[in-house]
Amino acid sequence: MPSPVLIAIDASPAATCLLDLARRYCRPGEHNLHVLLAIDTTFAVHDQPKAYTLEELQEYPAACDEQQLAERAVATAVRALREAGFDSLGCMVGGQPVDAIVAKAHELECELIIMGHRHLSRLGRLLDPSISAKVIDRVQVPVLVGATAEV
């Protein structure tokens, strides 16, 4: 049975680097790749991709835009992985990234988590602690961290 690997992305161009890492270290037929993107619950209009009502678009335009961007990022990542020959699924969830990543990895019984790391200054790390470090502290599986540039 193929081993599940979780790839935690965001909607930035850095996600491409994480997909490249997955293609480098995982093998089609040996690994099922699961793409996860967690967005802040204030920007999660729906639990699953579906059309927005006119009222939602008018009342929550920023949230609708953010969720659409996240859904497109997941769909693009899954499509790229499938084109590379992987069995791949993806989901966008509303919630804190650390909690979402840890919960999904546990649910899938993943053997590996692939995620990014932003290069922050000491002050930046103090004000915005590392998500990857928090995940590493909370899981019992290897975490492959790809460096991404802070924009």
What CATH code would you report for 3-146? 3.40.50.620
Distance (Å) of CA 115 to CA 17, 21, 45, 64, 136: 10, 9, 25, 25, 10
Which amino acid is it at 22? A
Predicted confidence (pLDDT) per residue in 82-125, tens digit:
999 999 999 998 889 999 999 999 999 999 999 987 655 565 55
Mean pLDDT by groups of 10 residues along the chain of 151 residues: 89 89 94 93 69 77 81 95 97 91 96 83 62 92 79 41
Res 118: pLDDT = 66
